[in-house]
Chains A and B, each alone.
Chain A
Amino acid sequence: QVQLQESGPGLVEPSETLSLTCTVSGGSMTTHYWTWIRQPPGKGPEWIGYTHYSENIIFNPSLKSRVTMSIDTPNSQFSLRLRSVTAADTAVYYCARGGCESSSCYHYWFDSWGQGILVTVSS
């Protein structure tokens, strides 16, 4: 049973960089796609982007200029960096795994999620 766990600071000052890491246990990092999703308080989720061990990375265009993602398969981790944050970036940030069907894995839907980490942007 795969488990995902987000880690990082819960408070970031405006204009600074938000940095989060997701640690994956109980599953292979090379088979699946790995995704970051955020959810502002009281709102629906927002897809940030996905990465894959082949270094195929796709971002949400609305965040593309500020986002960096990386993957460290030997240590079973992948990371998110979001630059120049504002109060609008306050949200619960989730890491998630792309689902598979039969022998194919996709970046389409998300079958395993971390518990989420609330990141507040405030001075």
Chain B
Amino acid sequence: DIVMTQSPDSLAVSLGERATINCKSSRSVLYSSNDKNYLAWYQQKPGQPPKLLIYWASTRESGVPDRFSGSGSGTDFTLTINSLQAEDLAVYYCQQYYGTPWTFGQGTKVEI
């Protein structure tokens, strides 16, 4: 299985500041034939299901604010939240879909 490791486990950020979450895969999730990274990011608030933010490592899902952005390639990826808003306080997960079983990171909690 591909192991996804996120850092840090928790992150304290002031409102209006930038939050940066890292995700590292145990092997590359870049598919050379189409040059796409098989990685998604989700946001989960307490008592709610995860919400899709980004797929293909950097493509924002429809309706997701542009303060959320994804970057990286191969084994190292980053989710950046610019100008953090109160509604962004949540746990964030990365997920690879390069090889079954699809696997998720352990989560990063963003708090003030």
Contacts and interface: CB of A to CB of B under 8 A. Distances in A.
Interface stretch (A10-18, A43-51, A72-80): A43-51
A53 interface: no
Interface of B: 38, 40, 48-52, 55-56, 59, 61, 93, 95, 97, 100-107
Interface of A, secondary structure class, is: strand
Nearest to A62: B101
A108 B93 contact: no
A68 to B, nearest CB: 17
Given A99-B52, A109-B95, A115-B49, A47 B59 contact: no
Interface residues of A, number: 23
A63 to B, nearest CB: 9
B93 A58 contact: no
A58 B102 CA distance: 11
A108 B59 contact: no
Closest 4 CB pairs of A and B: A113-B49, A108-B97, A109-B40, A60-B101
B38 A101 contact: no
A111 interface: yes
B104 A113 contact: no
Q: Give the residue among A44, A47, A96, A115 with the most B Cβ atoms within 10 A.
A: A44
